[in-house]
Structure 1
Amino acid sequence: MKKKLWMIFGPVIVAIAALLILLWAPINFKTVTPQKVRQAATSLDVRVLKGESVKNAAEKENYIPIIGSSELSRMDPFHPSSMAQKYHWKNKPFLQGNPGTASLTQAMNVGGMTNLKGNKAVFIISPQWFTKSGVPSDAFKYFLSPLQLTGFILNSSNGDKAMNKYIANRMLDLDVDKGPIEDGALKRISEGKEITSFQRFYIKNFARSSLQSQDDLFGSISMNDHEKAIDRAASQLPDKYDYKDLNKLATKLAAKHSSDNDLQIGNSFYKKELKKRIVRYKNAHRHVTYTHSPEYNDFQALLYMFAQNKTEVMFVIQPVNPHWVKYTGMPMSTITNFDTKIKYQLRSQGFNNIVDLSHVKNPNYIAEDTIHMGWRGWLMLDHHLKGFYKDKKANPKDTQYKMDSYFLTDTWANNTKFSNNK
């Protein structure tokens, strides 16, 4: 009888035991090959975003991260990944972002990129993140990485105390629940206390160790593969880089692919997302504002992470489709005021490399849909990236940041008295 039971359950027990050994044994799994890194660079796979091993491997090679949200999936010929491939940029973009990611998710992401220290990064800011309610709890919880959370908890005795308290409080406010020990540690951090020795021992040797093994083993298996899409996009570009010629081509392709509407919105997006309900958006955004939002505090947490890593960052203020702005009745002051406030927060702390695409002389075809860069918008950004990508190492002179915890306060989140003189 015992033999029969073993025949039935033995293989299952052995498999479970083997998996537990793999997850908790102190073994370094080297599964992230250069080929995997190349695929991950354009995959936009959520496991890459929530993991650490692939991104840290990319930092050892010729990649500079572009961190943002859903605009990164607009892979037309002028997308930075297409341009970098066609014109043989020394360093290539490593895309990090998904629809629904915003400042706090990306703060945790940057905090987990240990090899980013002393290097460069690009960060794309979307005005629509900065709503009165801030990041939705469900969206944040979906993208929250347990691995990055454990890293934050273990590093909470270092760095800026005000920032650590703020992030821990935000986790608790957004109802993050990753286990009683992790929750208890977050509670202590939110109160300005050190985590207990037991919490540190458990999180370091059990929780984080297991999560790291999972990331090493499964973080780069069967990723999304956009390499062929990038190949097709790059093949439409001329062999010689000439900005004026590329601008004409971008206008031509944009006109062709947005012919179904007079809002300069891509045909596929318009047909799928807007056509049947376009009337309801007429003058629907007359009272939208982007200057009162807890997102400004979350954005400050992100800036702290960059500052701790001594990362030289190019910030890109993403454009909003001007035809969509007019159709929905959004006041241009909404964009202007946001633009002024976010640049004040950046410049007053030493983040001076800002590419502002929210106000350009000729905004035609700058966005591919309502609120995301595309076509000429990508090309304008590429013009700045081309030089920035020549060297991935940060210039120490450009990382002398002066962080101010005022930007973590409710007062700043709702402040409308700011200047763009700094």
Structure 2
Amino acid sequence: MKKRFLFGPIILAFLLFFTTISIPNSWLEAFVPKDRVEKSATELNPMMFQGTYLQSKMLEDSKYLPIYGSSELSRLDPYHPSNYFEVNNKGFTPYLVGKGGSQSLIHAINFAAHMDQLKGKKLVFIISPQWFQKKGSDESHFAPNFSALQAYDLLFNQKIDQNVKKKMIKRMLKYHAVKNDALLAALYKAELKQDHTTLSLLSPAAKAYRSVLEKKDLYYSMVDSPGPERTISQSVKGKSWSELKQMAAKLGEKESRSNKFKLIDEAFRKIKPKMAKLKNRKKHLSYVQSVEYGDFQMMMDVLKESGADPLFISVPVHGKWYDYTGVPKKGRTGYYAKIKKQIEAEGFQVADLSGHEYDPYFLKDTIHLGWKGWVYVDKAIEDFYKKDSRS
């Protein structure tokens, strides 16, 4: 009797599971609200970043201009692109993709999953100098941003250049988030060795699991995510760039009265108790040598092969703060020159904002754009959008 009670729920669970995964995706898509893509544009929802459905729908719609980056995207203020372009209609809606730890390799996997939709597509990519630590993205940054769905998509992607694919797979196998998925790791290793026997044996299971992940993505796509607190500000409507810079500087001054570095007060309060320990602590830091450059190249390779039209935005560090912590200037200026050269070598456009290291109120804290910095980004985006592709 007890065994029947024990196995009953288990059997029911299996039946529900197989019923759920057997539902055609087209049926599930019918339950995704019509305004879901529009709402997700500023939600900064990790489920959207790690899925494919909402991004695919966004890329199908010409009204969206995707902006890829990392934690700076959540630094909202009146000058942030999501606010500026909402109250100043320039013919497009920014769509934010990325969060803290979303670095080059994470974006490369994502772009590979959408290669068919990127031809001729304008997009913006914000580069953070902090990605270019010597060892690049560590496990603590990679794992929370890793998408199993996109990783399995890469495995079965026959359109991507095979050399680029192998480089990406080899790099991804360095991370426990990939190695701990026994099925994915085995297939990735087989792909590198061209072990067709293993590929043939395990591919059916991998495709079935990918189907489950696709269903999961669709279920998550049905539900709104609250996203960061956001207030639409009309204060930036119809203003000239000169006026916007002055307004942004005034707001920055108002919000950073507690310190000589002109960091937002909220951030400085957290730093202040550690000031003595932080002075000259990073004398050996440099962004010139990093495995991130290889990841960044793979990401550009995917964009180039797909025929995308990206604008890269090179963001500076906070000069005064980096001087205080002892970071050598050559480790910064060398990075700015190197990343610009790497981008231009692929024929892509770059808005180089590295000359603003010491520009007050350009960054909101030690590393993130804000206030005046967003004004310069907005102008670069608007100019890029108006320009004919690859002209």
* Structure-1-length-normalised TM-score: 0.85
Name the SS for the 1:43 alignment partner: coil
Which residue number corresponds to residue 73 of structure 1? 74
Q: CA shift at 1:269, angstroms?
A: 1.5
Equivalent position to 1:202, from 201, 205, 211: 205
Tell me which residue corresponds to 1:149. Answer: 151
**Residues 376, 85 of structure 1: CA spacing in aligned structure 2 closer, same or farther, 3 A cutoff?**
same
Distance across 2 between alignment mates of 1:293 and 1:362: 24
Partner of 1:410: none
Matched residue type, 1:297: G
**1:418 matched residue in structure 2:** none
Deviation at residue 86 of structure 1 after TM alignment: 1.0
Is 1:375 matched with 2:377?
no
Q: Which residue of 1 aligns with 2:296?
A: 299
Partner of 2:89: 88
Which stretch has the larger CA shift, 250-259 or 95-104?
A: 95-104
How far does residue 192 in structure 1 lie from its aligned partner after superposition?
A: 5.3
CA pair 34-59 structure 1, distance change in 2 beyond 3 A: farther
Tell me the residue number matched to 1:132.
134
* Contact kept in structure 1, 2:318 and 2:358, CA below 8 Å: no
- Alignment-derived partner of residue 159 in structure 1: 160
Q: Distance in 2 between matches of 1:110 and 1:360?
A: 30
Structure 1 residue ranges, 4+ long, deviating more than 6 angstroms after superposition: none
1:178 Cα deviation from its structure 2 partner:
5.1
SS across alignment from 2:35: helix
Match of 2:185 in 1: 183
Work out whether residues 249 and 371 of structure 2, in 8 Å CA contact, stay in contact via their aligned partners in 1: yes
CA contact (8 A) 2:50 2:146 kept: yes
1:212 maps onto 2:214 in alignment? yes
Q: Tell me the distance in 1 between the aligned counterparts of 2:49 and 2:111.
A: 10
Sequence identity (%): 31
Structure 2: runs of 5+ lacking an equivalent: none
User: Alpha-carbon deviation of 1:64?
Assistant: 1.4
Residue 254 of structure 1: CA displacement?
0.3
Displacement, 1:199? 3.0
Distance 1:362 1:288 in 2: 19
Give, in whole Å, the separation in 2 of the partners of 1:341 and 1:41: 32
Q: CA shift at 1:134, angstroms?
A: 1.3
SS at match of 1:66: strand
The structure 1 residue matched to 2:257, chosen from 250, 253, 259, is: 259
Q: TM-score, normalised by structure 2?
A: 0.91
- Separation in structure 2 between the aligned mates of residue 67 and residue 34 of structure 1, nearest angstrom: 23
> Kindly tell me: are residues 355 and 160 of structure 1, through their superposed partners in 2, closer, same or farther at Cα, counting changes over 3 Å?
same
The offset of 1:17, in angstroms, is: 1.9
One-letter identity of the residue aligned with 1:290: Y
Measure, in 1, the Cα distance between the counterparts of 2:266 and 2:384.
33
Structure 1 vs Structure 2 CA RMSD: 2.3
- Kindly indicate whether the alpha-carbon contact (under 8 Å) linking 1:68 and 1:102 is maintained by their aligned counterparts in 2: yes
Q: Distance in 2 between matches of 1:374 and 1:107?
A: 26
Per the alignment, in what secondary structure is the counterpart of residue 389 of structure 1?
helix
In 2, Cα distance between the equivalents of 1:210 and 1:150?
11
Q: Output one character per residue of 1:185-232: Cα deviation in whole Å (capped at 9) or x when no partner.
A: 10022335667233333322x011111011011235241334x6142x
Residue 387 in structure 1 maps to residue 379 in structure 2: no
Amino acid at match of 2:302: M
Assess, with a 3 A threshold, how the Cα gap between structure 1 residues 42 and 220 changes in structure 2: closer, same or farther.
Answer: farther
Alignment partner, residue 227 of structure 2? 225
Quote the offset at 1:370 in angstroms: 0.3
Cross-structure match for 1:111: 112
Structure 1 counterpart of 2:58: 58
Judged with a 3 Å threshold, the aligned counterparts in structure 2 of structure 1 residues 55 and 164 are, in CA distance, closer, same or farther, namely same
Q: Distance in 2 between matches of 1:32 and 1:65?
A: 21
Distance 2:24 2:160 in 1: 28
The correspondence of residues 311-326 of structure 1 with structure 2, limited to 5 A, is 311-326=308-323
Alpha-carbon contact 2:104-2:299 (below 8 Å) kept: yes
Instruction: Find the aligned partners of 2:111 and 2:356 in 1 and give their Cα distance.
Output: 30
Give 1:245's aligned residue. 243
Say if 1:23 and 1:214, in contact at 8 Å, map to a contact too: no
8 A Cα contact 1:70 1:97, kept in partner: yes
Contact 2:131–2:292 (Cα < 8 Å) also in 1 = yes
1:16 shift after superposition: 4.5
CA change 1:325–1:345 in 2 (3 A) is same
